[in-house]
Amino acid sequence: MNLPSEYEFETGDANDRGLSEATEFLRRCLSSQTDTVQHYLWRDDQVWAKRAVAARPRWHFWLLGLLASAVGLPALAPVHNPGGEHAVRTEARRLRELASRGLRVPAVLAELPGGFLMEHLGRPGQPTPSLAEEMNEHTRADPQRVLALFRQGLQATARVHAVGTCLSQGFARNLVRCPDGVVGYVDFEDDPQATMSLAQCQLRDILCYLHSSAVYLMEAGQLDAARAPWREWLSARTPTLQLLVADSARRMRWLRHLPQDRRLGRDLQRARAAWALLEG
């Protein structure tokens, strides 16, 4: 999808014209787009248009929500997301904020009440796989690769915390590897800082990351090997975060009693593996 070549703007400097063109392109996308997120080719670059939709149940948070209630960990509680225009405004704002702090996120090219347009983190036609996808792919074929990817996710999370902010959902599926190897960040429809302190938000980041990545380490036989980089990562964090992690591990200790039976579901496996690493 491209704008007609004869489309012209009579006023404004080059930057204004570029913004106006991006806004008009977004308006045309949203007028016919049916998917929540859809990619397009514009100016020989791949871009993504995200439109406002009603909030939907976020089933991947169901177990974390139960854990939050059961063990008194507000950092794990799902953040309310009303969806619609509020969600796209929040995501566009957070993307701009993180970009201003030097973090690798998609650049926001245009924004309208019904959605926004953002750059692709890779190159046209080239994938930007998430760490979750890559770890899952290599659990059997290359266990050492799974461990290396886990470390890369820890480092990416540390970069976010080092500039004084947090992610929205720090799952491994929201950390993507760009073609140059740098890890980028996606999915910011909610803002945890609206309901909890920055320290709690950063605790939430690491708990979500462990919950979503430790199961791949377990399946690759690398859970024990991952304890050293995990302890090294934690020792470099602030005393406040270290205390919060220690308290979380204590509150989640009962997870060690969960059976290692795949028939009970992958979510329970994730929780048990995360606790095993958190405790280690």
Task: State pLDDT tens for residues 113-127.
Answer: 999 999 999 887 778
Summarize pLDDT for 237-250 with one digit per residue, the tens.
999 999 999 998 88
Cα–Cα dist 215/226, whole Å: 12
Across 95-109, 151-165, 258-272, least confident range:
258-272
pLDDT digits (tens, 9 = 90+) for 199-242: 999 999 999 999 899 999 999 999 999 999 999 999 999 999 99
Number of helices (H) and strands (E) in the chain: give both, helices first.
Answer: 9, 6
For 181-190, how does the pLDDT look when each residue is reduced to its tens digit (9 = 90+)? 999 999 998 8
Q: What integer pLDDT is reported at residue 127 of this predicted model?
A: 80
30, pLDDT greater than 80? yes
**Residue 260, Cβ density class (10 Å: 0-12 exposed, 13-18 middle, ≥19 buried):** exposed
**Average model confidence (pLDDT) for the chain?**
86
Residue 242 is predicted with a pLDDT of: 96
The rounded distance, in Å, linking the Cα atoms of 132 and 111 is: 29
C-alpha 230/C-alpha 260 separation (Å) is 22
Residue 265 pLDDT level (bands cut at 50, 70, 90): low
CA dihedral 176, 142, 231, 215 (to 10 degrees): 70
> pTM, whole model, 2 decimals?
0.86
Q: Look at residue 2 and tell me whether its pLDDT is greater than 50.
A: no
pLDDT at 214 (0 to 100): 95
Instruction: Write down the pLDDT at residue 122.
Output: 84
CA distance 207 to 171: 9
Q: For the chain, which residues make up each domain, given as ranges? A: 131-279
Report the DSSP beta bridge partners of residue 276.
none
| Residue predicted with more confidence, 140 or 63 | 140
Q: What is the pLDDT of residue 123?
A: 80
pLDDT value at residue 54: 77
Of 134, 222, 205, 196, the closest CA to residue 171 belongs to: 205
Q: Distance between the two ends of the chain, CA-based, in angstroms?
A: 51
pLDDT, residue 250, reads: 87
pLDDT at 90: 93
pLDDT-derived band at 79, boundaries 50, 70, 90: confident
Q: Given this model, what pLDDT does residue 268 score? A: 72
pLDDT digits (tens, 9 = 90+) for 84-100: 888 899 999 999 999 99
Contacting residues for 195 by C-beta, under 8 A, at least 6 apart: 79, 80
5: pLDDT confidence band, cut at 50, 70 and 90? very low
Residue 65 CB partners (closer than 8 Å, separation 6+): 76, 77, 78
**Which pLDDT band holds residue 67 (cuts at 50, 70, 90)?**
low
- pLDDT tens string 145-166: 999 999 999 999 999 999 999 9
